[in-house]
Amino acid sequence: MNRIDALFARLKSEGRRALMPFLTAGDPDLATTAALIPELVRRGADLLEIGVPYSDPVADGPVIAASYHRALTQGIRVAHIFQTLRTLRAEGDAAVRETPLISMVSFSIVNKMGVDRYLNDAATAGLDGLIVPDLPVEESAKLQEKATLRDLKLIQLITPTTPRARAVEIARLTTGFIYYVSVAGITGERKALPEDLKANVAWLRTQTDLPICIGFGISSPDQVQELAEVADGLIVGSALVRRLADAANRPKGDVVKEVGDFIGELSGALAPKG
């Protein structure tokens, strides 16, 4: 069974929600990324989204866009990222080997490498799925079919402005889980989330049996706790990546611990009460 399916089946039986941090691969360097992944797993991350740096980010706000720039400046390439993940899967402890990993990648990168090569390399690197934010649902069926042959999930995004008929079609062509974008616009931390967010997710749940994970704007334990009422998982990106912005000038161990502490706070907010 794909690790994503296994995770959500287990969490459902335990009555728990998934915490999914986002990391830009290679920010500030791949050694830090390789240290962060097991630390975040240890501190409560249930699955991890790994951003593949791209020069023209899609829907990414200034924090994540800057992290992509920092990684590209280091000369980070897809092959380097896959090798880092491959090593982690081979040498990590049981928790690291069993934690689902998902790549957030532009279709321009997938297309340039070649769809079959990207998917083959992703599978052998130990990835469990991919999110391709700039691939329209109308053009996603072939990629989904090829990903499924390699036991990879194609996770697709639904936004507050997605027409409902289109949202149903996106859900039909999604595997693994649905990534529900909490706000229209770009990624970034928000002090408050839309009032209709819960109602929108509740409606979507009537249209699909897939787990629904909410991302964009989530940055605090209170927000995580509030959205756990309606979501199967919570995705945290900019709030984490911001903590890495000055990491190149600080001891790696301090940075890893600080980010781990943050994820530990969010995980604690999701812990069952009582």
Please tell me whether residue 213 adopts helix, strand or coil conformation: strand
Helix (H) or strand (E) holding 212: strand 212-215
Any catalytic annotation for residue 39?
A: no
Choose, from 27, 60, 121, 232, the residue flagged as catalytic: 60
Any catalytic annotation for residue 91?
A: no
Please tell me whether residue 215 adopts helix, strand or coil conformation: strand
Choose, from 5, 27, 46, 49, the residue flagged as catalytic: 49
Strand order in the sheet with 233-236: 153-155, 129-131, 101-104, 48-51, 18-24, 233-236, 212-215, 178-181, 157-158
Distance of alpha carbon 246 from the chain centroid: 22
Handedness of CA 186, 192, 195, 201 (dihedral sign): positive
User: Which residues are tagged catalytic?
Assistant: 49, 60
